[in-house]
Amino acid sequence: MYRVGVDVGGTFTDVVLAHGGTGKTVFHKVPSTPQDPSEAIYRGISELIENNGVPASDIRHIGHGTTVATNLVIEGKGARCGLITTRGFRDVLDIGRQTRPHNFDYRIKKPDALVPRRWRKEVSERLGADGEVLQGLDEEALRQIAGEFRRDGVTAVAICLLHAYRNPVHELRARDIIQAAMPDAFICLSSEVLPEFREYERFSTTTLNAKVGPNMERYLGRFLQRMHELGVAHEPFTIHSNGGLMSVDAVRRFPVRTCLSGPAAGVVGAAMVGRKIGYPNLVTFDVGGTSTDVSLIADGEPMFSSSRSVAGYPVKTPMVDIHVIGAGGGSLAWIDDAGSLKVGPHSAGAVPGPVGYGVGGTEPTITDAQISLHRLNPVAVLDGKMPIYADAAKQALRRNVADALNIGLEEAAEGIIRIANANMSRAIRSVSTERGYDLAGFALFAYGGAGPLHALDVARECGIPTVIIPPEPGNMCARGILLTDISFDFVASEIALIDAGAWPRIERRFAQLQQDADAWLDEENVAEADRRYQRIIDARYVGQNFEVQVPMDDVGPDSHAAFEAGFHDAHEKEYGYKVPTRAIEIINCRMKAVGVIGKAPLARLESRGDNQPMDERDIYFGAQAGWCASKVYKRAALAPGVRIQGPAVIEEMSSTTVIRPGQSLMVDDYGNLVVDIA
């Protein structure tokens, strides 16, 4: 029995095949196909199983991460969407929070509203803050709105009524009416997508869900068809932003939850590997073709967030707390109007790609700088399958950067990499030191195709003493998909001042969430023995505007005191102080339902290599060290326990690791490269 993990990236699509019993894994990588991501998935899986002699019928599990929803939002290519809301709230999406994207740069504009005003419709109805019906729903107005939407070619509808998170009765009826008039429309209710208070975030998240829904439905259809053509009998899962897996039906209903699909898998996988090898405190460092994703893992557990922004639009769903910047191997180097060198955030992506890839790119990228300094193989990558055009990369760097700044080629390439490293280091500090964590107690877990190329320099700049590079780091997100469980988050707003008398309301709310969670786990065919539940309460001191999250083992009659103590501790950790005499206000009750699925064990590395270098080449390590003769090792030739002194380079199919003079590397029992920065 085999399990397959797939991660669709901006430049490459990564595929991992794992044996369910031994945990032995093989990796494959193919260029992404942005016009239809399922093409690359089909090609990657078919080539992998053919190369390894695995019948498609032996594949019992496929999990995949996708960027379809994120790209639709970023590129503004979602469906033509309409919004139906309570009379008087038509302009919530325009008004927002009345904050600027940047306080001091008036050239930076807010993104356009998700729905043009002509397709934002009001309907007479009203619920009180307690969910009581104050004014009935105007059903005839809804039928007229549906007719207008049909005439204008609207294919998706978001229904966001005031206080629907407390009582969905009007939204449910509105859906029935709109669905009857527009049977082919994709319809979303805020009471299902995000049953929380705060109108702007609820409206934005629900509208984004509606806009990406039709396109996601078409993509899933093509994906399922291609898996059927391969002969895979089991329906695939998709990883979503909280690091868990969802069924195809769940993704169809809530595509907005996949906005951090792939990166979340990498963090979950890194946490599991870190716990296994004795490094529970990690900073994950995922550098791909278009972006760098960083996250913090403390005591073996990833950090989570309940909201973030995607292309300037708030998305409020539970997700792994990942900070993303526009710095990846394909990030473009350019000169601004003041004559300064800039790197990113624009990227060459998969098409036309870096100049050195020879597929049409003309502008220099970070990858071209790495090729020019020979840190990346100047002849071929992907185990020799992909030729590199080093002369073209150097010419582009000289023409666009070096000559423009009147500096040498090496200085220009080194400058590009140093700027990228500085941007990456700032991202790491934003999730660590700025939140009170001392990086001296963490290791940098580097993966992604370009992560190991930058990791050692970034770790030194941030004061991180150790770097860990897993086997096939370019495929870590795909591998992480095979290390996660089925899960889904449920939330209910229950705004209440808390004392012993009010606590029974919270107990009843969690009892209802448990019923909802069990119903969902029933739909996912999860056995009773494989079910797990995680409870969290969002709370704040009275008078505050934002909440902290308090994990709860259980919510019962005797857990009130434990909650209060946990809240004070959580508040002190988040804000640096606590006020035990101040009243506490609960805002949201959350429950994460988990269905544990079987996972392949983390396989130990076999003593398979001779530990001898396969080549030697000169690599440029900056003005002080210059060009240094460096041994080149094939990672597959390194056995557990071997130690390597820099300067050296470790090459493998999905990535390259460069060790500076004075640094040392050790291969652990599971094949991870552990580098001592000191």
Strands 584-595 and 531-541, by their bridges, are: antiparallel
Query: Tens digit of pLDDT for each residue in 121-141?
Result: 999 999 999 899 999 999 999
Looking at the predicted structure, is the pLDDT value of residue 599 above 70?
Answer: yes
H runs (alpha helix) in 53-105: 68-75, 92-95
Q: Is 160 helix (H, G, I), strand (E, B) or coil?
A: strand
Looking at the predicted structure, is the pLDDT value of residue 199 above 80?
Answer: yes
Element (H, E) at 455: helix 451-462
pLDDT band of 252, cuts 50, 70, 90: very high
pLDDT band of 586, cuts 50, 70, 90: very high
CA dihedral for 45, 46, 48, 52, sign (positive or negative) = positive
Phi–psi pair at 409, nearest 5 degrees: -65, -45
Query: Tens digit of pLDDT for each residue in 632-670?
Result: 999 988 999 999 998 999 999 889 999 999 899 999 999
Looking at the predicted structure, is the pLDDT value of residue 98 above 70?
Answer: yes
Q: How far is CA 605 from the centre of its chain?
A: 28
User: What pLDDT does residue 672 have?
Assistant: 94
Q: How far is CA 23 from the centre of its chain?
A: 25
Question: Which parts of 377-471 are beta strand (E)?
Answer: 380-381, 386-387, 443-447, 466-469
Q: Is 12 helix (H, G, I), strand (E, B) or coil?
A: strand
**Residue range 415-428: average pLDDT?**
95
Most confident of the following: 3-7, 306-310, 516-520: 516-520
What is the C-alpha to C-alpha distance for residues 432 and 606, in angstroms, rounded to an integer?
Answer: 35
Strand order in the sheet with 615-620: 615-620, 627-634, 648-651, 656-659
pLDDT band of 85, cuts 50, 70, 90: very high
pLDDT band of 295, cuts 50, 70, 90: very high
User: What pLDDT does residue 76 have?
Assistant: 80
User: What pLDDT does residue 573 have?
Assistant: 84
Query: Where is pLDDT greater, at 608 or 583?
Result: 583
Looking at the predicted structure, is the pLDDT value of residue 289 above 90?
Answer: no
Q: Angle at which helices 451-462 and 409-431 pack, to 10 degrees?
A: 70
What is the C-alpha to C-alpha distance for residues 368 and 415, in angstroms, rounded to an integer?
Answer: 12
**Residue range 33-48: average pLDDT?**
90
- Which region, left, alpha or beta, applies to residue 55 given φ > 0 means left and ψ of -120 to 50 means alpha? beta
Q: Is 672 helix (H, G, I), strand (E, B) or coil?
A: coil
- Residue 223's contacts (CB-CB under 8 Å, 6 or more residues apart) are 37, 38, 41, 64, 236
**Residue range 481-507: average pLDDT?**
88
User: What pLDDT does residue 368 have?
Assistant: 96
Compute the half-sphere exposure of residue 252: CA atoms within 13 Å on the CB side of its CA: 11
User: What pLDDT does residue 477 have?
Assistant: 86
Looking at the predicted structure, is the pLDDT value of residue 376 above 80?
Answer: yes
Which two three-digit tokens encode residue 49? Answer: 């199983």
State the burial class of residue 88 (Cβ atoms within 10 Å of its Cβ: 0-12, 13-18, 19+). Answer: exposed
Looking at the predicted structure, is the pLDDT value of residue 533 above 80?
Answer: yes
User: What pLDDT does residue 74 have?
Assistant: 73
pLDDT band of 161, cuts 50, 70, 90: very high
Looking at the predicted structure, is the pLDDT value of residue 350 above 90?
Answer: no
Query: Where is pLDDT greater, at 337 or 534?
Result: 534
Give me the long-range contacts of 622-625 (CB less than 8 A, separation at least 24).
622/414, 623/411, 623/414, 625/660, 625/661
**Residue range 283-302: average pLDDT?**
90
Looking at the predicted structure, is the pLDDT value of residue 608 above 70?
Answer: no
Looking at the predicted structure, is the pLDDT value of residue 281 above 80?
Answer: yes
Give me the long-range contacts of 615-621 (CB less than 8 A, separation at least 24).
617/374, 617/378, 617/649, 618/374, 619/373, 619/374, 619/375, 619/647, 619/649, 619/658, 620/373, 620/374, 620/375, 620/410, 620/413, 620/414, 621/647, 621/660, 621/661
Query: Tens digit of pLDDT for each residue in 510-523?
Result: 999 999 999 999 98
pLDDT band of 305, cuts 50, 70, 90: confident
Closest CA to 224 of 258, 255, 247: 247
Query: Tens digit of pLDDT for each residue in 48-79?
Result: 999 889 888 889 889 998 878 887 887 788 89
For the entire predicted model, the pTM comes to 0.84
User: What pLDDT does residue 607 have?
Assistant: 67
**Residue range 502-506: average pLDDT?**
90
Which two three-digit tokens encode residue 465? Answer: 């003493």
Mean pLDDT for the chain overall: 90
Looking at the predicted structure, is the pLDDT value of residue 22 above 80?
Answer: no
What is the C-alpha to C-alpha distance for residues 659 and 655, in angstroms, rounded to an integer?
Answer: 13
